[in-house]
Amino acid sequence: LCGDLQTQVPFPFSLLCLQVIKCKAAVLWEPNKPFSIEEVEVAPPKAHEVRIKIVATGICRSDDHVITGGLVMPFPIILGHEAAGIVESVGQGVTSIKPGDKVIPLFVPQCGECKSCLSTKGNLCSKNDIGSAAGLMPDGTTRFTCKGQAIHHFIGTSTFTEYTVVHESAVAKIDSAAPLEKVCLIGCGFSTGYGAAVQTAKVEPGSTCAIFGLGGVGLSVVMGCKAAGASRIIAVDINSDKFAKAKELGATECVNPKDFKKPIHEVLIEMTGQGVDYSFEVIGRTETMTAALASCQYNYGVSVIVGVPPAAQMITFDPMLLFTGRTWKGSVFGGWKSKDSVPKLVADYMKKKFVLDPLITHTLPFTKINEGFDLLRTGK
């Protein structure tokens, strides 16, 4: 009856058809505890909101930072921000997306109206919830309830649930033929790393690069440096098990800091003469951020911070590192304007311009999410 009504009455009336959905979600009730698979209630989308059935979601170190306290968020919370799914319903006023569309939620929204969205220089929309960490929808409320308790959202996405609600500015419609279990990585890991190289640093052909950290994001930086035509791509990690994959994706050399008695930046300077043209910190540790800065060329080297900085930690460094001309930059979501760029990146994947399969090490059922995080923490 609902479907028939929608064709005969004005749109606002058809909103009466939208119901609360009960589904499974991985709720994190407090820090440093495992996820609890719970039945949650997901409210219908309000005006300019979209409710999505999540088909596939990736595990990212940023989710783990919330668990350990490195990234401070309110509890209880549903984490997850790297996913792909199918639109289940839309709220009033949503015109760009309809039920049945394949989509990727965007933890960096694109409202199209704020200074960053209007500038060609930036991509961090002011509507993001990374800095404020409110854990709520833009109207200051939540769409999740569990055991009668309100559950917080995570950076506007919350994908560790069978259904989620996002704002219209935080979702991108993608190719209907795209395999969601692959392109979910374009929701964070791949785009963040690849974009840090080609979009933020703008790596040039023939340049030398060093990548600190070879998780999924770091390997995506390797891919970006290769796509940009870098002549030397030096992969740095304390886990040598990751070197084979790094070389498969484009690294020309791999270095384990544990193999040397001297600081790693000195090793890289010796390897390259005066340091690399571009360095990338893809771990989220203050020591490696300063090491990456020190390892790039003293006058025109560019170092990009890609890893999420730990909460309440400060960096102390010799200002001479910058005075001589180095550039220190940050990169959120690879510098991409999300709503514009994600559909194009999915299209490029469909045209085989880059690969995603090597970034996927395990595929687990949703109920084994805690095992997935164990694999993350053990470097597997």
Tell me how many degrees the CA angle 318-193-340 measures, rounded to the nearest 5. Answer: 120
Among candidate residues 65, 152, 153, 167, the one labeled active-site is 65
132 is catalytic: no
| Residue 70 CB neighbour total at 10 angstroms | 18
Residues facing residue 50 across a β-bridge: 90, 166
Q: Is 245 helix (H, G, I), strand (E, B) or coil?
A: helix
- The neighbour count for residue 120, using CB atoms within 10 Å, is 6
Angstrom CA distances, 145 to 40, 51, 100, 245, 277, stand at 6, 15, 25, 41, 49
- Cβ–Cβ under 8 Å, residues 216 and 193: yes
Q: Is position 254 annotated as part of the catalytic site?
A: no
Burial 252-291, CB ≥16 within 10 A → b, else e: bebbebeeeeeebbebbbebbeebbbbbbbbbbbbebbbb
Q: What is the dihedral angle through the alpha carbons of 141, 73, 29, 18, rounded to the nearest 10 degrees? A: 30
The residue from 81, 152, 167, 265 that is catalytic is 81
Q: Catalytic: which of 117, 125, 184, 188?
A: 188
Pair 42, 51: CB distance under 8 Å: yes
- SS3 for 304? strand
Neighbours of 218 (CB within 10 A): 29
Q: How many residues does the chain have?
A: 380
Residue 188 designated active-site: yes
Torsion of CA 307, 278, 211, 272, to 10 degrees: -150
Match 């209630």 to its residue by tokens.
41
Annotated active-site residue in 60, 184, 209, 254: 60
Going edge to edge, which strands form the sheet with 171-173? Answer: 163-167, 49-57, 83-90, 102-105, 171-173
CA 102-121-350 angle, 5° bins: 30
Tokens 């569309």 appear where?
A: 101
Catalytic residues: 60, 62, 65, 81, 188
